[in-house]
Amino acid sequence: MLIEDRLKELRELINRKVPSGITVSNVEFEGPELVIYTDDPKVFADQADLIRVLARDLRKRIVVRPNVLEDPEKAYDEITRIVPENGGISDIFFDPDTGEVLIEAEKPGVVIGKNGSTLRDITKSIGWSPKVVRTPPIESSTVKQIRQYLRASRDERKEFLRMSGRRIHRDIIAKDQWVRVTTLGCCREVGRAAFLLSTPESRILIDCGEKPGATNGATPFLGVPEIQPLTNLDAVVLTHAHLDHCALVPLLFRYGFNGPIYSTPPTRDLSSMLQLDYLEVIRKEDRPAPYSSNEVKQYVKNSITLNYGSVTDIAPDIKLTFHNAGHILGSAIAHFHVGDGLYNIAFTGDFNYSKSRLFNPATANFPRLEAIFMESTYGAAHDMTPSRKDAEIKLYEVIKRTIERGGKVIIPAFAVGRSQEVMLALEEGIRKGDLPAIKIFLDGMIKEATAIHTTYPEYLNSDLRNQIFREGLNPFLSECFEQVDSSDKREAVINGDPSVIITTSGMMNGGPVMEYLHNLAADERNTLVFVGYQADGTLGRRIQKGWREIPIGTKGSITINLEVTTVEGFSGHSDRRQLMSFIGKIHPKPERIFCIHGEESKTLDLASSIYKKFHIQTHSPMNLETYRMV
């Protein structure tokens, strides 16, 4: 059926279902949503259950928009009149193209009202569809820029959503039924994650990352015929914002892709931040950049964000649902339901099956599941990490003895994930008196990454959310943290009192950590604490291995006198024990498990251990293979 006929049919169907007094003038696909345009948004909003019933019956995500919109100024006054004072509205943006009004408030719950009653009042009164976002306690320039950019490119974006919507809802024409996965990277290695899920009807790319530290073979195999031409790709699905998963998504636009990229909202924001930083690092090293900031913008423009649990059509025969992966902010296990009950397959991305200070453990429950592609970073039998508790006790001890002898603690850390975990551990240590009341300085992109964390508190675990909302105690806002945002300030920190400095880069390949090392390495009272994996070839790894004389360009060299120590246990990954226990608990039991994202020996070890223990068919694929699922 032509898509126009389909829409006409849907309009008639909806008109039959809505009570008299409501006129549906038009329906349109916009991305994965079915948008209903009406002259009577107020009457529509009165029928609390109507949208839910339509969504259920049509098996579509439904959005209602008015044909005629209230004048923004009048609407502004109406909103502030309807929403109680304690909602703390900090800003209101109108988007005439989508008919949406974005309300930024300190207490979104107040703006929404009980069961959405206040929101419905707003809709009835002004016609615009209200969307509520929380006023972030720390302003993120990334989030701000993304919102500005999306507003500025709204015409293009509207057209993009309309086109994607029509593409997603096209008729199924293929007669064959099969589901295949092609491995384009990240098999028997860590890095360049890229998996192609294909059916006779659709092609979905899951992740598109770089391989850190690789001199050749740094990109996924995007040149093979399976994925060519990229214009035929229905969608890209991004599990999380780490560069080994997201770095090369913008490159796809250079190769002709122009479809949607699905991720959670935090993943979109963190990814674009890290992609721009990735370009900056390449620029500083005088290497040729695979893409420019223009493609990062395009990535943002083509992003369609989904929250955990939202079941979404992304192709005629594929539904995507994100589930919490517990790894970093917004990290997701991507679950695909293919066909009408034909097959279910999940890609874990990176995941943590234990609870951390920031996140709940990864989901192990799925409505259905036949196969899973699972990371194996710590997949070998001996890959056991200490508990988070023990790691924190060790970290406290190192800090205490350093402070006591009048030294400073340098903690190199990735901006996203590990930094925030360490921040929370230190904040609690100080608050509960396990650590002295020292200052914790944050340098590099850590503050910006933390700001994005505070923009999406609903992605943090319930304890932390309760602490923030019920107890009004946002640990990220603690007075113990202080941002370093100038060289003067950095100099002051270096020459100041004993303190802790959390700073990028995490593997000591450039970034502000170099400045601290340069100035603090000679003094044996100071301590350098590694909390994350140091890859081969990085300066961090060399120092860990015992190098004590570090040549630094033409400046001569740095002599390492300070204490060097490693605290394991802050990893965002499941260790071997957790990987096995995840498979023990996963429900339903999949028929096949593919161990990926790990060194060869680890994926092989994990695959054979799972097979032996659980009698599930396992594979340790190589890159460039295609597995038939059904």
Give CA–CA dist 7/29, Å, rounded: 8
Is 245 known to sit in a ligand binding site? yes
Check whether 242 is labelled as a binding-site residue.
yes
Nearest to 120 by CA among 181, 79, 60: 79
Question: Is there a contact between 241 and 416 (Cβ–Cβ < 8 Å)?
Answer: yes
Compute the least distance from the CB of residue 268 to Zn ion, in Å: 16
**Minimum CB distance to a second copy smaller for 574 or for 623:** 623
Check the annotation: does 240 bind a ligand. yes
User: Closer CB to a second copy, residue 419 or residue 623?
Assistant: 623
Q: Please provide residue 382's backbone torsions phi and psi, each rounded to the nearest 5 degrees.
A: -90, 5
Region near Zn ion per CB under 5 A, out of 174-182, 251-259, 344-352, 424-432: 344-352
By CB under 5 A, tell whether 277 contacts Zn ion: no
Q: Tell me if 366 sits within 8 A of 395, measured CB to CB.
A: no
Q: What are phi and psi of 285, to 5 degrees?
A: -90, 5
Name which of a second copy, Zn ion, none residue 457 binds, using a CB cut-off of 5 to 8 Å depending on partner kind: none
What's the closest the beta carbon of residue 548 comes to Zn ion, in angstroms?
A: 32
By a kind-dependent CB cut-off of 5 to 8 A, residue 553 interacts, out of a second copy, Zn ion, none, with none
What residue spans of 127-177 are helical by DSSP H? 141-152, 154-168
Contact 383, 376 (CB under 8 A): no
Q: What is the DSSP letter of 343?
A: E
Q: What b-and-e string marks burial along 288-324, b requiring 16 or more CB atoms within 10 Å of the CB?
A: eebbeeebbbbbbbbbbbbebeeebbbbbbbbbbbbb
Q: Does 244 bind Zn ion (CB under 5 A)?
A: yes
175 makes contact, choosing from Zn ion, a second copy, none, with CB < 5 to 8 Å by partner type, with a second copy
Going by C-alpha positions, the residue among 473, 485, 472, 542 that lies closest to residue 508 is: 542
Residue in 269, 277, 350, 421 binding Zn ion, rule: CB under 5 A:
350
Q: Which does 624 bind (CB under 5 to 8 A by kind): a second copy, Zn ion, none?
A: a second copy
Q: CA separation (Å) from 13 to 16, 17, 72, 311, 342? A: 5, 6, 32, 22, 27
- DSSP per-residue codes, 525-580: T-EEEE-S---TTSHHHHHHHT--EEE-TTS-EEE--SEEEE-----SS--HHHHH
- Residue 622 interacts, among a second copy, Zn ion, none and using kind-specific CB cut-offs from 5 to 8 Å, with a second copy
Residues ≥6 apart with Cβ < 8 Å to 166: 3, 29
Pick from 505, 387, 395: nearest CA to 440: 395
Give the DSSP per-residue string, 368-429: --SEEEEE-TT-STT-----HHHHHHHHHHHHHHHHHTT--EEEE--TTTHHHHHHHHHHHH
Chosen from a second copy, Zn ion, none, partner binding at 244 (C-beta under 5 to 8 Å by type):
Zn ion
**CB 619 to a second copy: min, Å:** 11
Q: How far is the CB of 623 from a second copy (least distance, A)?
A: 7
Q: Closest separation between CB of residue 202 and Zn ion, Å?
A: 25
Q: Which is nearer to Zn ion, 49 or 536 (CB)?
A: 536
Q: Among the candidate windows 294-302, 347-355, 492-500, 516-524, which touches Zn ion by CB under 5 A?
A: 347-355
Task: Using DSSP, state whether 338 is helix, strand or coil.
Answer: strand
Write the interaction track for Zn ion spanning residues 21-50; mark x where CB under 5 A is met and - where it is not: ------------------------------
Reduced to 3 states, what is the DSSP secondary structure of residue 272?
helix
Q: Which residues bind a second copy (CB under 8 A)?
A: 175-176, 178, 180, 182, 200, 216-217, 221, 223, 225-228, 232, 622-628
Task: Provide the Cα torsion 31, 33, 37, 38; round to 10°.
Answer: -170
- CB closer to a second copy out of 22 and 230: 230
* CB closer to a second copy, 150 vs 624: 624
Q: Is 242 in the site for Zn ion (CB under 5 A)?
A: yes
Smallest separation, CB 624 to a second copy (Å): 5
Q: Which stretch binds Zn ion (CB under 5 A): 25-33, 197-205, 345-353, 479-487?
A: 345-353
Do 418 and 531 meet the contact criterion of CB atoms below 8 Å apart? yes
Is the dihedral angle over the CA atoms 85, 86, 92, 98 positive or is it negative? negative
Instruction: Provide, rounded to whole angstroms, the least separation between the CB of residue 18 and a second copy.
Output: 43
Instruction: Tell whether residue 169 is among the known ligand binding residues.
Output: no
- Residue 206 CB, shortest distance to a second copy, in Å, is 17
| Binding-site partner at residue 242 among a second copy, Zn ion, none, CB < 5 to 8 Å by type | Zn ion
> What gap in Å lies between CA 54 and CA 64, rounded to an integer?
11
What six digits make up the tokens of 277? Answer: 């930083």
| Residues touching Zn ion, count (CB under 5 A) | 3
For a second copy, the closer CB: 226 or 599: 226
Host H or E run for residue 124: helix 117-126
For residue 157, give the amino acid letter.
R
- Among a second copy, Zn ion, none, what binds residue 628 when CB lies within 5 to 8 Å by partner kind? a second copy
Ligand-binding annotation for 244, yes or no, is: yes
Identity of the residue, 276 or 624, whose beta carbon is nearer to a second copy in the bound complex: 624
In the complex, minimum distance from the CB of residue 200 to a second copy, in angstroms, rounded to a whole number: 8
Nearer Cβ to a second copy (114/175)? 175
Within its chain, how far is the Cα of 572 from the centroid?
13
**Geometric angle at alpha carbon 254, from 165 and 260, rounded to 5°:** 20
What is the C-alpha to C-alpha distance for residues 142 and 455, in angstroms, rounded to an integer? Answer: 11
Q: 269 with 455: CB under 8 angstroms?
A: yes
Residue 76 interface partner, choices a second copy, Zn ion, none, CB cut-off 5-8 Å depending on type: none
* Contacting Zn ion within 431-490 (CB under 5 A): none
Give the nearest distance from C-beta 220 to a second copy in angstroms.
Answer: 12
Partner from Zn ion, a second copy, none binding residue 227, C-beta < 5-8 Å depending on class: a second copy
| Cβ nearer to Zn ion, comparing 396 with 414 | 414
Residue 418 makes contact with Zn ion by CB under 5 A: no
Nearer Cβ to Zn ion (45/247): 247
C-beta of 370: minimal distance to Zn ion in Å? 16
Nearest approach in angstroms of CB 592 to a second copy is 12
Instruction: Choose the stretch contacting Zn ion; rule: CB under 5 A; options: 235-243, 268-276, 534-542, 554-562.
Output: 235-243
Q: Which is nearer to a second copy, 123 or 623 (CB)?
A: 623
In sequence order, what are the residues at sequence separation of 6 or more whose Cβ sits closer than 8 angstroms to the Cβ of residue 245? Answer: 193, 207, 208, 209, 238, 239, 349, 350
Binding site residue list for Zn(2+): 240, 242, 244-245, 327, 350, 597
Binding site residue list: 240, 242, 244-245, 327, 350, 597
By CB under 5 A, name the binding residues for Zn ion. 242, 244, 350
